[in-house]
Chain A
Amino acid sequence: MSEWLESAIARAQHLDDWLAPKRAHAVELLAQTKWPTRKTEAWRYTPLRPVERTTAGKISDDVSLSPETIADLTPIELVFVNGQFDASQSTKELPAGLSISLGQDLDAAQQASALTAFAAIKPERHLFGLVNDALAEDVVLVSVAEEVEITQPIRISSLLSQGAESHTRVQVSLAKGSRLTVIEDIQSQGETLSTAFVEYDIAANAYLEHYRFALQTGTNLAIGGSHFNLSDKSKMHSSIVGFGSDLSRLDTDIIHAGEFADAKLNAIYLLDGKELFDLHATVEHAMPNGTTEENVRCIVADRARAVFNGRIHIHPDAQKTLAALNNRNLLMSDKAEINTKPELEIYADDVRCAHGATVAEIDKQALYYLQTRGVSRSKAQVMLNFGFINELIDLMPNAALAEWVRPIIRERFAQMEVK
């Protein structure tokens, strides 16, 4: 075990609140867990040295950080600053049918049911998920009532100042037939460490539109997870955009726990310098007639490293499953690295399941040709290679978010060098 994990466990033992049984369970599991090394499959390409060496720690000082303003988007804000829920920046007046509350403010009966739901979707194998179980203080619960459509998106912002460590946790529950959009965003500065986990329980016929932006770079260490449980005829559409940092790791789990559920997951990541981004996406088809479509597209420049592990597990009962997993990568330099591993495990015989991964290099001849016509290198690069990223941005259902993130991604790409 690392010193970092030991100290995390020690800190968890000081927390005595409504989540105590869950924290104790997480600590127990952590105590049995071996600290990952190169030989640990789930962390093979993602060394944890930056976590071992981090100087980030808990900061309780008042800092003034605010979520970024996005044109044409007026979200319901749910703000954490350095891991603490910031009620002053969070939206108080909520539309009918939506409730947002802090776990510690609930009455005993509500806490009891929240306790049952806590960590019920997120699998126990996620090491930092357990750390989050043990250390997330202000757990926020979001729920939408049956058949209610909340048109205003909820934005969960985790804001970190230099040197901060933060563990945030949100539990989202969509009752039958409800509709909700949730945006998860982290904004951090300097050397930070965060774990940010959200569990989504999506009841029958409900629809979740989901975004996760992990645009932190540099020495920001960000480990997180988004975990979804799908019931009968429920749907989800998730869009993930990530830039790399010294350590950026995201685990997603989509569990088809009901029949005729539909999941779409589109992920884009663009890495430069020595950055690393690791996406582990798991889909469990436990029930029949489910559909999953996953598109992961990645551009890696300089000495950056992308990791993608896409596992689709089709259980024996999950007949008539339709699942497709596609991973396309563009390498900008000889030293850039992509580790992609699609994993299909199929135990049902009447399913359709496709997967593919491709790695392309930048077409230097085409780049030169465009330049000889006066087009700048950066513009040419975008013209030639932005199409496959643009396609996924176009698929984002929320136009305001798509138009906010598109120039950010394009700009980052234009700055990447061909080597």
Chain B
Amino acid sequence: MSNTNSLLTIKDLYASVEDKQIIKGLNLEIKPGEVHAIMGPNGAGKSTLGYVLSGREGYSVDGGNVALAGQDLLEMETEDRARAGLFLAFQYPVEIPGVSNLEFLKASVDAQREARGEEAITSAEFLKEAKAACKQVNLPVSFLKRGVNEGFSGGEKKRNELMQMLLLKPTLCILDETDSGLDIDALQVVAEGVNSQRSADRSFIVVTHYQRLLDYIKPDFVHVLSDGKIVKSGDASLAHELEAQGYAWLQTAPAEDELEG
């Protein structure tokens, strides 16, 4: 498994929230440039995976290990994981009144540039970049002055997440149910934004409940997450299969070793 080529390697991961085990022996390997979709029923642990990988307080790792570009991810602070190239697009982005979006974006970019030993970007230069990113995700420039996500609609919040991704240029993006609460137009904007960022050195984990998003963001691999582990993996066609069958078959699923084999 420890392929030197892989960007992310998750080995036998166990994690819990408030003493309740949610992730139960999860394995996943992602190479640079790949797009992996993780699908599954509610309560399978899809969002938990993103929180565990980003190091959210209250989520404890009980076993296994995770390497991002060869570094032990689980040993790192949340901010250091971000600086190492991890980006989590939230299902429910947090509203922060009193901190302007621009200040927030600049602080994020500054912190990451500093961590990479790069020179700080000037305010004027940054404003230019931020305005361009706004345009790309179809958000009015006035949103830069507003409090972070404050009073944004569901779609605006998701586009704001995407804008952060454009500015931070991560190597691994986890999109946590980015499609939830989006109408078809908003979904297309987000998908186009994601697609524009696909490159040979950037990978994606697209977490979704529905196959719909995957019509716009074509995955290289699709994994089914159920009860804290991956029970089935396949190519993009698996998503269509799931759409047709639903997740009910998982209740009576055979042992996972058979499926993984």
Contact = CB atoms under 8 A, between A and B. Distances in A.
- A and B are interacting partners: yes
Interface of A: 363-366, 368-377, 379-380, 383-384, 387
- The secondary structure that dominates the A interface is helix
A365 B57 CA distance: 9
A349 to B, nearest CB: 39
B96 to A, nearest CB: 5
Nearest to B94: A369
Contact of A371 (B78, B87, B112, B148): B78
A366 B94 contact: yes
Q: Which 5 A-B pairs have the closest CB atoms?
A: A373-B108, A374-B82, A371-B78, A369-B94, A374-B111
Interface residues of B, number: 28
Interface in B163-216: 164, 168
A380 B110 CA distance: 13
Contacts of A363: 96
Nearest to B103: A383
Contacts of B243: none
A374 B94 contact: no
B88 A372 contact: yes
Contacts of B104: 370, 373, 383
Contacts of A373: 82, 104, 107-108, 111, 164, 168
B52 to A, nearest CB: 12
Nearest to B113: A374
Contact of B107 (A365, A368, A377, A383): A383
6 contacts: A372-B54, A372-B81, A376-B79, A377-B78, A379-B111, A383-B107
Contacts of A371: 55, 77-79, 82
A183 B94 CA distance: 42
A375 B79 contact: yes
A368 B111 contact: no
Given A374-B112, A383-B107, A365 B94 contact: yes
Interface string B53-96: 01111000000000000000000011101110001101001101
Given A374-B168, A375-B108, A379-B111, A368 B78 contact: yes
Contact of A368 (B56, B148, B168): B56
A259 to B, nearest CB: 39
B103 to A, nearest CB: 7
